[in-house]
Structure 1
């Protein structure tokens, strides 16, 4: 583990904490000043009553309301800054935790786990202690789904190369990356239905009766009321006219309560959420991009002026929410028919802008997926960008390849070489010698490579392949499925995939465990020979040394590899290194002896 990387994150987290504390103190100061404004408002009411002079109340109300609004605005700005730096601190601390323990504040992808997928269950792609948990930095629901889709299936060579360039560019902009994550962190715990409801609301016209006439009157009403108030200063009788106008305005707003309530159902907290997203869109739009992938995504937003439009909608919905404060709502509706003005403005916005909004949010999901896989470039600089081979045969070559989910001090690397060919590698070895881990190492790094990410190796070259695994075979009481039946189902899926999927590379770990040794050998041999007949390519790990004899029968197609142990003074020593040939040393009797079971000669 590179200590300088952790030091950088630690310094950044501490700097963010200092900034958060500064803005917290400023927000608290303005909160106290707001209490002072409220006290002055009470005093103004007292003077109005004791002096029976409406002018005091009118002037004080206008001045103090303006002052209160300014203080609220300033306090809100400081609180936003405070929350931003608190989130930035959290983002940096999460990277430290990820490097040290692999824990992550983001989703581990358990919702995408699927035991019947071609490989994700066997290779620990989703769920606790998974690849997804290691790299995921997506806060939005769409971003989580996007990243899961990239790990669920290999991309084409062109797409992988585009993603590689995009990832390198993001990795070189680590501060920008962390800032975007900070701006998006609010979405991690946000209700995903809120955004879905917004999309529905934008597509559904409100059909507001009398919209044009009401819109015209709403523009004129404030001037009429101001004239009446000014007139009341000179002619006391006009005071009644001012009150009447205010009451009429409130009545009009109340008569449209049903339509306002429909908008309210969506507007709750949406204004703030959209304001947050406006900042995200602006962050993407304003950054200069060089890679074709990132530039194309950002250009979609620029062409539609997305950040400005989202900010405008956020402002309109936030203004509609002013009526949630009863006193403010009554005053604004009495003077300006506030709710009606905002409803009409929102409807006009919907007519002009709603068509591209969902596409804009999909751009954020793409950036979150890119940011997630760029995490490997930043946090693990020793990992390498794989070469995507374009050979007629299968290519899967690697040097010093290791399992990315095993801690640096514990994992053992290996070399592997399958170069522009078709073939099956038989891997024999003792229990716990490393066969299964090696198969998963090849599989999980291939998944990373074909998603566009760096891999845990010093060199890797891989064709665009579809991994199909046969490793963790489980019975199912709910489905009345025995282990052997589950194995047959998995074999059927594997053989069908070899026939139908693009360039399948299979990983088989100990076939037919649910039957007797004779049937196990004969069945395994038959399956491998059928795979050879189909020109199947992959690896088969087994304890059965007789399977290794297939190299004699198919010397141009089958290769033997093994993992072995050394036994010294009844102690088993593992080196976890892949070697050519077949294993000669096994350890089951030693393992049984350790738990008190003596095995005869």
Structure 2
């Protein structure tokens, strides 16, 4: 089934590249036509002047301006389309790279890395070659933040089920979601910082202006027109016209600092807002069937129930007008109709009426980005399953053929695991490199996916809503003068504390207390597990220490033993990476040391 989606992306990528070539030819044609039109107009204009055809020369200039403007607009339209198709090609190429584990053009989420988080560091949620890098399709900073938050804590059961329904719908709308990604791909750049500036401006209170100035701004163009016409009949009115121009000049100077400040904040937002309006339009005009998508689409309306994308386009146009007023031509416009002041007041009026809706619209766009990110798993890995969230008093984590999503399917080994509304601590023993740590991470990362609404790398999966807590990559810290053993104690203390809360916690412990001697390690590990049992803790402990497995005799109703083993044939080791019930009897440390010339049977 995955071959079909790969073929689809390859076909779309080829079609996009062909379309880019066609657009390049069209752009070149219109570029030539512009040059030809200019040369032709100059020849005609020269001939008209030569034969004293003044009226024809004026008509030639007028027709040239119209024709040249039309050619420019057509060429600009093709350039805009080419930019979109280029982005679409990048989107399809990125999907192919993601499936082949060749990285992503989107953020890998390194900024969200937190070694103190209950599981994100141990389970490779963020950073290079992480889960976030694999699934992220968010171009905006806000989209990245929403997706990260979904991965950092379990969502409510209702949210999980609503997202699952929406992800399935998005997977059936491949063309729509790839178009949406292409429209927003421009935001996958530092220009996103401008969006932050925009919201700071929108949230800031506008400076008060006297009412008479606002009234005067509305009538200023008409006053200038009235006195200009009046000078033809009453020459003395030219003096009034001069006074009006001087007054407009000083009024503009009074507002100049405020206008420049506004332009510095939002002056470059016009094109960005236009792109966002296209994204809003794409959401608003699509026919949705899932409850969550329908709700998000219906929220993209302003108080008058109009299309909010048009309101954003209007805001973009006002910003363009303000920027235009700061050009050399704007000097004339400001003199006759206080152009910049009029645009400033129009922008501030828009801000008062729509800034709340604009922020909501950006939030909804970002939410769709996060949903599209999760849906990429369903699209690119159709054999993965959507898990069932189980309601129950105790803990459920029941999987069939569960594998690690970051390991290629060609080498991935899957396992079954069953915990059905129970309170259990499972001890997993096994030799080095047999698969204990990978199995713990496999359960952990799939639980994280399941509890944010995403599909899981498994044939079947049923689980309780619970928080994962991991104890795996314990590091010392020179900056904080923290030894490995102290870091381990801190992590254990954090686990015991979080178990006191009301939320269900499923812990994953890999080789407890490795920073101390073997006797203290056993006694300490035994004490910790007994404390976990006393607090009704549920989870898995992976260890090399076979003595820990003997706790099953003391707590037969609470502890279960499993193991990963190896087959040794001569000096060759064979791993099957399959979880089995019971205790491990075969270890390989001495054989591994012997291979590199360290270990000998003589000691």
TM surpasses 0.5 = yes
State yes or no: 1:405 paired with 2:406: yes
Deviation at 1:172, TM superposition (A): 1.1
Instruction: Give the deviation of 1:268 after TM superposition.
Output: 2.5
Indicate conservation of the 8 Å contact 2:227/2:240, yes or no.
no
In structure 2, the CA distance between the partners of 1:596 and 1:222, relative to structure 1 (3 Å rule), is farther
Matches for 1:108-507 after TM superposition, within 5 Å: 108-203=108-203, 204-208=205-209, 210-219=213-222, 221=224, 253=252, 256-304=255-303, 305-323=307-325, 325-326=327-328, 328-330=329-331, 332-333=333-334, 337-500=338-501, 502-507=503-508
Cα shift readout 1:33-78 (whole Å, capped 9, x = no counterpart): 4556666898899999999999899777665554444443333222
Deviations 1:444-470 (A, max 9, x none): 000000000000000000100100000
Q: 1:201 deviation in Å?
A: 2.2
SS in 2 for 1:421: coil
Distance, in Å, in 2 between the alignment partners of 1:452 and 1:490 is: 28
SS in 1 for 2:396: strand
Q: Distance in 2 between matches of 1:38 and 1:507?
A: 74
Distance of aligned partners of 1:244 and 1:407 in 2 relative to their CA distance in 1, 3 Å threshold = same
Q: Is the 8 A contact 1:382 1:458 kept in 2?
A: yes
Cα deviation, 1:287-320, whole Å, max 9, x if unaligned, reads 1111111111111103553211111111111222
Q: 1:485 to 1:307 in 2, by over 3 A?
A: same
Q: Which residue of 2 aligns with 1:551?
A: 552
Shift, 1:237, TM fit: 13
Shift of 1:584: 0.0
Equivalent-residue separation in structure 1 for 2:429 and 2:156 (angstroms): 33
Aligned to 1:75: 75
SS of residue matched to 1:117: coil
Aligned 8 A contact 2:214 2:345 in 1: yes
- Residue 157 of structure 1 and its aligned partner are, at CA, apart by 1.0
Which residue pairs with 2:100 in the alignment?
A: 100
Cα distance in 2 for partners of 1:324, 1:41 equals: 31
Alpha-carbon shift at residue 594 of structure 1 (Å): 0.5
Count of aligned pairs: 596
Q: Is the 8 A contact 1:468 1:504 kept in 2?
A: yes
Q: Distance in 2 between matches of 1:8 and 1:486?
A: 49
In 2, are the aligned partners of 1:215 and 1:344 still within 8 Å (CA)?
A: no
1:357 Cα shift?
A: 1.5
Structure 1 stretch displaced more, 86-95 or 161-170: 161-170
Q: C-alpha root-mean-square deviation of aligned residues, in Å?
A: 3.2
How far apart are the structure 2 equivalents of 1:35 and 1:256? 42
**Contact persistence 1:215–1:340 (CA under 8 A):** no
Q: Distance in 2 between matches of 1:557 and 1:470?
A: 20
Q: d(CA) in 1 for partners of 2:240 and 2:78?
A: 42
Structure 1 stretch displaced more, 184-193 or 454-463: 184-193
Structure 2 contact 221–336 (Cα < 8 Å) conserved: no
Instruction: Note closer, same or farther for the CA distance 1:168–1:527 as it changes in structure 2 (3 Å cut).
Output: same
Runs of 4+ in 1 over 6 A off after TM superposition: 37-61, 235-251
Deviations 1:330-369 (A, max 9, x none): 4655665543332232223223222221111111111111
Distance 2:208 2:171 in 1: 48
Secondary structure, counterpart of 2:188 in structure 1 = helix
The alpha-carbon deviation at position 238 of structure 1 amounts to 12
Measure, in 2, the Cα distance between the counterparts of 1:49 and 1:142. 60
Choose 99-108 or 262-271, whichever is displaced more: 262-271
Residue 27 of structure 1: CA displacement?
3.2
Q: CA deviation at 1:263?
A: 2.2
Alpha-carbon spacing, 1:498–1:57, altered in 2? closer, same or farther (3 Å): farther
- Give the 3-state SS of the residue equivalent to 1:599 in structure 2: coil
For residues 246 and 42 of structure 1, what CA distance do their matches in structure 2 show? 36
Structure 1 pair 476/49, CA: closer, same or farther in 2 (3 Å)? farther
TM-score of the aligned structures, taking structure 1 as reference length = 0.91
For residues 360 and 219 of structure 1, do their structure 2 counterparts lie closer, same or farther at Cα, with a shift above 3 Å needed? Answer: farther
Distance in 2, Cα, partners of 1:30 & 1:414: 61
| Unaligned residue ranges in structure 1 (runs of 5+) | none
1:329 Cα offset (Å): 3.5
Q: Which runs of 5+ in 2 are unaligned?
A: none
